[in-house]
Structure 1
Amino acid sequence: MKYFPILIFLLCSSLISKAQTNTILGQVIDADTGEPLGFCNVGWVNLSKGTVSDQVGRFRLEMGPENSDHLLKISKFEKSLFRINLYQLLENETYDLLPQNGEILHELTQEMGSILEVDLTPYEIIVNGKYLIGLEWVSYENQVNSGILTISTSYPFGKTLMKNSSHDKWEEIKGAPSIQVDGALLIQD
């Protein structure tokens, strides 16, 4: 897996204000090569606001009062994930981001009605004494032909698919936390 260390250049139209919406203008650039990284997802963590950088890594993102204490998330193919506090961005025009350390875990199986626990100690993913992880579901197979699978997702970066019956098509529900299945094999990219 290739990691993308990046730099972000930001210009803010004004400082954070309780009554004003501001705009962040930025560019995502590979720190190793100096080349722009196009088509990166850029958005506020846990809010329904985001955008995609253009082919030369430039992006424009609205910042309202509700974003003043939130994290900005930047990802490329969901393989390199970065989260930055807004105040850190406002202190510097250029910000160096560390690459994500991607680990592929073994296949996990969960019995119906049970809680699945995963031991993360073999993986070196501790930062400041805390595990900072994101889980990505690659595939799901329901062997009992019905039920609900809960998957944490967050619009605009995540998605949840739902099927009401075996005759219905899969519907994309933005920001919803569950998938209802009826004897289907669901593969998410």
Structure 2
Amino acid sequence: MTTMRETSGAGLPLPLPEAEYLAGLPKATVYACCFFTDVRGRALGLRSVFTERAWQLPGGNLDAGEDPFQTAVRETYEETGLRVTGPRPLLLLHYVRGDTARAPLAKVGFCFDGGTLRDDQLAAIRLDPGEHDHWAVEDWPVWERLLEPENYRRLAAMAEARRTGRTGLLVTEPGAGGGR
């Protein structure tokens, strides 16, 4: 593959070698997750054993060869034992800017609607103790207190997308939270 670039001289395009073109592209990681609520509309969260016991949604990073929905399905099963069947609506496309020392890569998230869980489905959750030590369904004011502001904003955006039937877009600055 050869792309074109302009010279500063005559302004004529010159071929750009593929390696140079690819090296100049922005870099990003990809995650996918599922948003679940119980029958009372309370969101499901998993408490991480890492990152100061932060609350997360079932999900994780894309593995080679997976598409985002496959990642959400795999990660949800690994972390909770819940089986998600598809297709499921995409609620939110989440973009976390990169370009800082702490977060040099951008992050792109695909947040799917996992659906509504009955009490018996919630009772069947089996956490991976290597990743999470507790799960909870909480009312929205409780999540607002427990989550970093950007993570609460992401959760609320998913609930709004589910309510309206319109996929949302959320852009987060690096270091502001908002991971899976």
TM-score, length of structure 1 as denominator length: 0.22
RCO comparison, higher one (Cα < 8 Å, 6+): 2
